Structure 1
């Protein structure tokens, strides 16, 4: 008797194939469409109106509010005029520096020192961070030291640097390095610790080991944490320099922002003191906005984190 389940010309029974449910095909198509949408994310540059509305207007309004509160406190006479001068007096001090031709030279003296010191800290902190992150004995020895140095106020290094190197530019750069190198190295170590092990295994499979692996795998993968360390390193560099210029002031060093602030304090020139504070704050913010914030946004966009990079 012929087997009714065996097709003609076949050698045995075959199992029936279950048809694909329409709902499953719909879910699969939706998943593919979602993945395609993620891959096709485009970053649209904000227009001039949007930039003015969302990035320029808020800080401008904040500055105006501070000036308004300042003016109201002066009018209310909550303290003596020499302790809290009118904003117009600070503006007069700024205008006097501009007319004398010394404003830009004062700012550049400090900015050039800060940038040069930060560049040196970058050249030292980056290989140090790689070494601490990848070599266990070095991490065990230097990891706690780097963490401790980050919590140590930079001003504590000024007396030692002056005794070691005298009141010279070398002392200024030494204070900057001692303040910035631990932050840069620590940021890189933190970034490397967050690199998925799969990236490292893939790099070794492709032959990226040693210095090549650090260049092509570790550093690109750790870039967000590294940039955070750079931002913190610049902040430490700037603060360290201002502390050094305030304490180790000398005519041989040239007139920087820290020494200008100390000279104004010596002369009991409160408008000059407030102007020095404003200029120090302005330079620190300006460097961050001009260098580190665009770099951070670019890295985040490259990783698809467009919402955080706006």
Structure 2
């Protein structure tokens, strides 16, 4: 009698899993638990949050570092200037009513900046400065563009522009007063003559130093006439042009201060008029306080030009 041994030998032993099945409590190969995807998503989100936190902190740190690197030299220079000023006062070189120290001058400066009349005078001075500088930029750009493009004009007026740039602005005031009397036009006339030559020379220098290979490339690409100047020469000469604009502002500011000291128009009050009145009244603390305000305005404008210059250098890859 035949015995059926197949079922006896093929039956799994107790506790042994059937072939092709995974033991209890284990994960079959090629399968993913249902909660693993959610865990990975949470992990990715947490890592992304940590990265964002780290990058945000690094960005804030860099911003603070840049701000501090820009501020601390100015603070140091101010402290050194105040210390030197006080040292001169302590030396007894001049009596205190002629050369007061910081402790006598700074409170007077604070009293001035808290009055509306002072800010009205500052507003008038800045309005004159901006109008004169804008007119100077217009004349300087036109003159510089023409002289840089035409050799005949370069030979005729190149040296004249440089001569006008080196001429002291105060030397123009007698002529300005004869032409325009004591008026705003007299001040504007001298401001433009003081600033426009520097702006024109800055543009001329930028055009002169434009690499010839760029000019040849522009002509090959079909740039001619105004398009060549607009799309190639002006961008290439921008660094030198900005330097000319900065120098032009310095000449305009100096010319304006000289003009406001010499040309007093009716009852108008400006920084120059306040400075002149303080001198006439022998008010040394007030006079020095107005000089400090004029210096601060010059420093602020210089910082603005510095921001533009750094932006250009970064765009051109010249600043790390």
- Pairwise TM-score range, normalised by the shorter structure: 0.7 to 0.9
Check the 8 A contact 2:109/2:290 in 1, yes or no.
no
Matches within 5 A, 1:202-221: 202-221=217-236
CA distance in 2, matches of 1:96, 1:161: 35
| Deviates most, 134-143 or 62-71 | 62-71
| Count of residues paired in the alignment | 262
What are the ranges of 5 or more consecutive residues in structure 2 without an aligned counterpart?
A: 1-58
Cα deviation digits, residues 257-295 of structure 1 (max 9, x gap): 1121111111111111111211111101101212x1111
Q: Which of 238, 250, 273 is equivalent to 1:223?
A: 238
Q: SS in structure 2 opposite 1:85?
A: coil
Q: Which of 293, 296, 308 is equivalent to 2:309?
A: 296
**Deviation of residue 137 (structure 1)?**
0.6
Q: Which of 223, 229, 240 is equivalent to 2:255?
A: 240
Counterpart check, 1:126 vs 2:126: no
CA distance in 2, matches of 1:60, 1:99: 23
Q: Name the TM-score, length of structure 1 as normaliser.
A: 0.80
Matches within 5 A, 1:267-286: 267-286=281-300
CA distance in 2, matches of 1:46, 1:218: 39
TM-align CA RMSD: 1.7
Counterpart check, 1:88 vs 2:133: no
Q: SS in structure 2 opposite 1:47?
A: helix
Do the aligned partners of residues 229 and 46 (structure 1) sit closer, same or farther apart at CA in structure 2, a change above 3 Å counting? farther
Check the 8 A contact 2:147/2:157 in 1, yes or no.
yes
CA distance in 2, matches of 1:173, 1:295: 26
**Deviation of residue 237 (structure 1)?**
0.6
**Deviation of residue 212 (structure 1)?**
1.1
Q: Which of 169, 177, 185 is equivalent to 1:162?
A: 177
CA distance in 1, matches of 2:209, 2:114: 52
**Deviation of residue 71 (structure 1)?**
2.4
CA distance in 2, matches of 1:54, 1:255: 38
Q: SS in structure 2 opposite 1:226?
A: helix
Deviant stretches of 4+, over 6 Å: none
CA distance in 1, matches of 2:84, 2:193: 38
CA distance in 1, matches of 2:114, 2:145: 49
Quick check: which has more Rg, 1 or 2?
A: 2
Counterpart check, 1:265 vs 2:290: no
